[in-house]
Structure 1
Amino acid sequence: MNAPHPPPPPRLALAGVSKRFGSTVALDHVDLSVNAGSIVALMGANGAGKSTLVKILAGVYPSDAGRIALDGQSVTPTSPQHAKALGIVTVHQAIVDTGVPTLSVAENLLLDRYCTRGTPTVRARRSDVQDAGTLAARVGLTVDLQTRLGRLTIADQQRVAIARALASDPSVVIFDEPTASLSDREAQQLFELIERLRDDGTAVLYISHRMADLERLADRAVVLRDGRVAGSYARGADGTIDFRGAVRTMIGRDLDPGGTRAPSGQGQAVLELEGVQLKPGREPFDLTFSTHEVVAITGPVGAGKTTLAEAIFGLRPLPAGVMKLDGHAWSPRSPAHSIGAGVFFAGEDRWRTSLFPSNVPFASIAGTISFPFLPRWFPFGRVQARRERDVASAAIQRFGIKCRGADDRLDTLSGGNQQKAVVARWHAAPARVLLLDEPFQGVDIGARDDLIRAIRDEAHSRATIVFVSDYGEALEVADRIVVLDHHALDATSSFAHL
């Protein structure tokens, strides 16, 4: 009788992988495996070590200890190109990592080919464009391949990154928050692509803070906490994964199931929109936002959410309609005018709209929070560092920002703690209208719960409007949900959250 063949080794296996940054232990003897033809969800709060682990696999950081193996053979990725040559590719969350904005879509799709050729210039030939078209079709990308990458929507830039990552037919693909900038329809297309990769034998490591993504895709969930593997949850006989238990392992507590909701009609009207058009030719609509309630404006990517937020804040004009703030005509001339009137706005891209590079004076938590209010707090131009730090220290405690202190630079914090600092900025002074565009993007489920609590705590004193693409997030944060579609109000889908 022949002895049974031993099972094949995992496609990807980490054993005892560790990494330190000075006195900070980012990863502590992490063991993790992903089999061929499976999808493993990597969960963890911001700062748990997920990004460090991904960067080690991508060849950005060397590990201090431990072993990485592909199909049982030890490997040591030394650069992203080397990792890709080994068969490990990463689709990053940050748009800045997706390509070169000034090059065409075709040239971005074939960047690795040009790098291999060693050519001093990058220019797509006719045959290259044809090859790029094949890659684009693989992910359902239908844009003009001669268009510059920087002119595409964020969602299409993300799809270019995915197509480029898959060009080498990798054996391991790491997806880092891939649906953060995608509409529901685009996300479903991505899920189908990932499932095809799994069915073809690819090992997939999937990182997301969206539970719906994980429930749809994952065969197993692995939880990192404080740089260690804190738990592993396989899909059970009933076909489900115990994500409630995984979340409890991840953050050390159960989530607030929703908190107290504002009674309908309790508040006073603060912001009124009458006959507003977001685009010429689109149906005008009326909306009123009151104190004592949080309103979520939702809808697919491109529905007009950011357009509406920017118009209220004074970043763009409205084609038609009028706005009123506390009963008076509201026609903001600039962001400074809006801030002076108590209309505050945290944009979707925190690094473009809210944060400073590390080499400028306001790159710290204290500087980030105080910057919009300098004329109000320090009218004679002399910044009082002690007052800055006192305000920031109170925000750190209130929002649970994990840091050493108010003087920490924002680029040293995890994404979730950066986002907490952005939202905390707009709670440092009384607001009449608070506009938050995708405040939970790239934020883990525990940090999102903290943000929701903080947002709702002061809703009684202002109109609070949260712009989100994810309907689950809208349900978590809002008393009332308004749906936009094609830059107009979808009246059939707007409702009060009971």
Structure 2
Amino acid sequence: MTAVVAAAGIEKRFGATRALAGADLAIERGEIVALMGANGAGKSTLVKILSGSLAPDAGTITLDGRPVAFAAPREAKRAGIATVHQATEQAGAAGLTVAENLLLDELCAPGGRLFTSPGAIRRRAAAIAATIGLDLPLDRDFADLRPAERQLIAIARAVAAKAAVLILDEPTSSLAAGEAERLFAILGRLREAGIAILYISHRLGDLAAIADRAVVLRGGVAVGEFRRPIDFRAAVAAMIGRPFEAPARADATLRRPVVLSARDVVLVPGARPFHLTLRLGEVVAITGALGSGKSRLLSTLYGLARPVSGTVALDGRSWAPGRPSEAIAGGVFMVAEDRRRSSLLPPEIPGATIAGTIAFPHLGRWFPLGVLRPARERRAAVEAIARLGIKARGPDDTLDQLSGGNQQKVVLARWQAEPSRLLLLDEPFQGVDVGARADLITAIRGSGTTTLIATSDAEEALEVADRILVMRDHTLFETEAEDAALIAAVGEVERAEGAASA
């Protein structure tokens, strides 16, 4: 069959960085192709080129066998390539209704005035919504919609525009399991209608549930292709360039003292009890879908929530903090998922600098008499800038002057500025580029602190952890097994989750 869309020999450089080095990709009608690859492999660059956001340095793109070149996303969309981005707030216009957002493309096109009466808009919008089974109230404001609902509006618009190719960038990153299943059902219908779909996701459960084929990028080129059922062990080997084996480094921690022990813990009513043991200096990652309970567990250990039942001990003593201040006093620190809301001071507040941000939770300990000494704060900041490779002019830079990756380095440095018994990290690599992620992983693994990480990205867990656990329905599952790749175990649990919620 002739591919609906094909990219051949695509090359792209950004200065000295070669993002794509001759990448090839082809998708046929009625096919869902997953694009896999580690951060920095070139996935985002290839998607931007296909969607018209970037021009390639070399190579060709064809639609139904005809060469095409796009100077802007609107040209790609007009040609039949529609992209639904991860940031769902860009999928429509706040202040307009669902009906008006469904008709945005038509209202803005020549002849859009034909739909200016409220009745005409509602009738046309209802017809568009029906194409994918969208049942939202047509008079709701786009700003009031959940991410999943915004995403479906963008997909409905693409179908209405008769898109031949639909590109989905991390479509389930902010969806609950039930919402993801609804999305998969809609994509299945679009596949039956002959639409070619490119699906970018780190989530193995997504790929197992929906993809007909997976293409793996590494170093800017396609290095592997896997047809359904996808062999995750082989796919990960292609991603990292070597056979994947469970980390041997976990064995070294088994003889160390236990720092935290949780027995028969039930996080929420109806969940199954689980055990958890963390040893000195061990880095343990918990992965699982959104809403699986990862953040709830960290919040419980940090005093933001209480378990239904079970016991937790820190260094052999009962551990049940009633609030974060008690957790901090006991040596348990936490970096929350949303660094802007939980960790960054507004730039207009005095002290909202690198030095002030790092020092903030330690002021009582560092300055017990209440007299601040800027030199003490600056020393800690200078040390952190050097140790984590924070790109800044100096400790007096404000956080709004830094990239997301460097902001996250400052947040980690804050909690590494004082010794702790347990460090909790909730999605620590979210919104962080590949270089900053490597620096963060080095800092986490080099600290010697017992660390528990919650991440929805199995690839991140593999990179940073001595041991990986999977959480589903607020219950932990060990993934280690003889001769079984951790990545395959993660995929199995995610597949089980998808089957359970279907």
TM over 0.5: yes
**Does structure 1 residue 17 correspond to structure 2 residue 3?**
no
> Which of 118, 134, 146 is 1:125 aligned to?
118
Instruction: Judge conservation of contact 1:209–1:445 (CA < 8 Å) in 2.
Output: no
Task: Report matched runs for 1:73-472 at 5 Å.
Answer: 73-116=66-109, 125-226=118-219, 228-235=220-227, 240-257=229-246, 260=250, 267=258, 291-292=278-279, 301=290, 306=295, 330-332=321-323, 342-349=331-338, 370=358, 375=363, 379-381=372-374, 387-395=380-388, 426-427=415-416, 429-439=418-428, 464=452, 466=454
Deviation at 1:229, TM superposition (A): 0.9
- What residue identity is the alignment partner of 1:248? A
CA distance in 2, matches of 1:455, 1:128: 54
- Partner-residue secondary structure (3-state), 1:257: coil
- Partner-residue secondary structure (3-state), 1:46: coil
CA distance in 1, matches of 2:302, 2:312: 11
Identify unmatched segments of 5+ residues in structure 2: 481-502
What's the RMSD between the two structures over aligned residues?
Answer: 5.5
Structure 1 residues 60 and 119, CA, compared in 2 at 3 Å: closer, same or farther?
same
- What residue identity is the alignment partner of 1:72? G
The 10-residue stretch of structure 1 (16-25 or 432-441) with the greater mean CA deviation from structure 2 = 432-441
**Does structure 1 residue 49 correspond to structure 2 residue 42?**
yes
- What residue identity is the alignment partner of 2:54? Y
Deviation at 1:172, TM superposition (A): 1.0
**Does structure 1 residue 60 correspond to structure 2 residue 57?**
no
What does the per-residue CA deviation read over 1:278-318, in whole Å, with 9 as the maximum and x for residues that have no partner? 8xxx789999976538888888655776567567767x788
- Partner-residue secondary structure (3-state), 1:19: strand
TM-score (norm 1): 0.68
Deviation at 1:56, TM superposition (A): 2.0
CA distance in 2, matches of 1:134, 1:264: 64
CA distance in 2, matches of 1:299, 1:395: 28
Residue 490 of structure 1 aligns with which residue? Answer: none
Structure 1 residues 268 and 137, CA, compared in 2 at 3 Å: closer, same or farther?
farther
Number of positions where the alignment pairs a residue of Structure 1 with one of Structure 2 = 463
What does the per-residue CA deviation read over 1:129-165, in whole Å, with 9 as the maximum and x for residues that have no partner? 4444444455554444433334333333333343344
Structure 1 residues 309 and 152, CA, compared in 2 at 3 Å: closer, same or farther?
farther
- What residue identity is the alignment partner of 1:46? N
- What residue identity is the alignment partner of 2:323? P
Instruction: Judge conservation of contact 1:272–1:323 (CA < 8 Å) in 2.
Output: yes
Residue 483 of structure 2 aligns with which residue? Answer: none
Instruction: Judge conservation of contact 2:287–2:455 (CA < 8 Å) in 1.
Output: yes
CA distance in 1, matches of 2:107, 2:334: 42
Structure 1 residues 253 and 57, CA, compared in 2 at 3 Å: closer, same or farther?
same
CA distance in 1, matches of 2:328, 2:112: 50
Instruction: Judge conservation of contact 1:297–1:484 (CA < 8 Å) in 2.
Output: no
The 10-residue stretch of structure 1 (371-380 or 149-158) with the greater mean CA deviation from structure 2 = 371-380
- What residue identity is the alignment partner of 1:464? L
- Partner-residue secondary structure (3-state), 1:233: strand
Instruction: Judge conservation of contact 1:289–1:463 (CA < 8 Å) in 2.
Output: no
Identify unmatched segments of 5+ residues in structure 1: 1-6, 486-492
Instruction: Judge conservation of contact 2:283–2:450 (CA < 8 Å) in 1.
Output: no
What does the per-residue CA deviation read over 1:330-381, in whole Å, with 9 as the maximum and x for residues that have no partner? 44378xx8667655443445566567999999999x7898476674779424
Deviation at 1:185, TM superposition (A): 3.1
Deviation at 1:170, TM superposition (A): 0.8
What does the per-residue CA deviation read over 1:442-497, in whole Å, with 9 as the maximum and x for residues that have no partner? 899999999899868879x5573637598x979x8867766557xxxxxxx55666
Structure 1 residues 350 and 267, CA, compared in 2 at 3 Å: closer, same or farther?
same
CA distance in 1, matches of 2:154, 2:442: 35
Instruction: Judge conservation of contact 1:42–1:222 (CA < 8 Å) in 2.
Output: yes
Deviation at 1:40, TM superposition (A): 2.6
CA distance in 2, matches of 1:428, 1:327: 26
What does the per-residue CA deviation read over 1:249-271, in whole Å, with 9 as the maximum and x for residues that have no partner? 32234445266388799735589
Structure 1 residues 367 and 16, CA, compared in 2 at 3 Å: closer, same or farther?
farther
CA distance in 2, matches of 1:44, 1:361: 42
- What residue identity is the alignment partner of 2:30? G
- What residue identity is the alignment partner of 1:229? V
Instruction: Judge conservation of contact 1:43–1:207 (CA < 8 Å) in 2.
Output: yes
TM-score (norm 2): 0.68
Deviation at 1:91, TM superposition (A): 1.5
